[in-house]
Amino acid sequence: MNQRLIVIAGFMASGKTTVARALGNLLGCEALDLDESIARAEQRSPQEIIEQEGEDKFRQIETVALSELLKKDAAGVVALGGGTWTIPANRKLLAEHSAITIWLDAPFELCWRRIEAAGHGRPLAPTSESARQRFQERLGVYALADHRIEINVNDSAEEIAKTIAALISRRSGNN
């Protein structure tokens, strides 16, 4: 198994958390979710932090949480929040820890359908128009990830995890 941290990035509702879990199961390692770490540390959800204190404050908290998580230096899988990878300081932290970054490149329509179905948990995607604009703005930054995985509507988390595992195995010369 690869000993480097594998990091899953991508837009809101691209499937980061479920894919990270499936990949952790497949590789037999721990899968963490940055938003969950933040919620545990802050005793409130990212949504509440953004609504109560704004996005800038949330980004500060998020960078501290990422840094703490990386300090533990446990090999495994981490699902980022949708905006984590867009912040240069976070990309620097991940590079310093030699993390392998995977971008789940899901079409906007798929993400939006899931965002809508999940209800009102995402203050940074209040309407389809603003979410689409944010999506477009972020594409170029997500593309800085080490690997891009194209996500189709029918792909299961297990299938996506297998694709990632094969990619990483090839990359480390294991086959």
- Least gap, CB of 12 to ligand S3P (angstroms): 4
Identify which of residues 1 and 39 has a Cβ nearer to ligand S3P in the complex: 39
> What is the DSSP code string of 39-81?
HHHHTS-HHHHHHHHHHHHHHHHHHHHHHHHHHT---SEEEPP
Applying CB under 6 A, does 24 fall inside the site for ligand S3P?
Answer: no
Applying CB under 6 A, does 81 fall inside the site for ligand S3P?
Answer: yes
User: Which helix (H) or strand (E) covers residue 158, if one does?
Assistant: helix 157-171
Applying CB under 6 A, does 39 fall inside the site for ligand S3P?
Answer: no
Indicate the burial class of 36 (C-beta count within 10 angstroms; 0-12, 13-18, 19 or more).
Answer: middle
Identify which of residues 65 and 161 has a Cβ nearer to ligand S3P in the complex: 65
Applying CB under 6 A, does 35 fall inside the site for ligand S3P?
Answer: yes
Applying CB under 6 A, does 12 fall inside the site for ligand S3P?
Answer: yes
Applying CB under 6 A, does 91 fall inside the site for ligand S3P?
Answer: no
- Least gap, CB of 152 to ligand S3P (angstroms): 19
**Helices 157-171 and 16-27, packing angle to 10 deg:** 60
Applying CB under 6 A, does 15 fall inside the site for ligand S3P?
Answer: no
Strands of 73-132, DSSP E: 77-79, 100-105
- Least gap, CB of 174 to ligand S3P (angstroms): 30
Q: Which position has the token pair 């990270």?
A: 20
Identify which of residues 28 and 121 has a Cβ nearer to ligand S3P in the complex: 121
Give the closest residue to 52 by CA, choosing from 123, 116, 130. Answer: 123
The residues binding ligand S3P (CB under 6 A) are: 12, 16, 35, 46-47, 50, 81-83, 122, 124
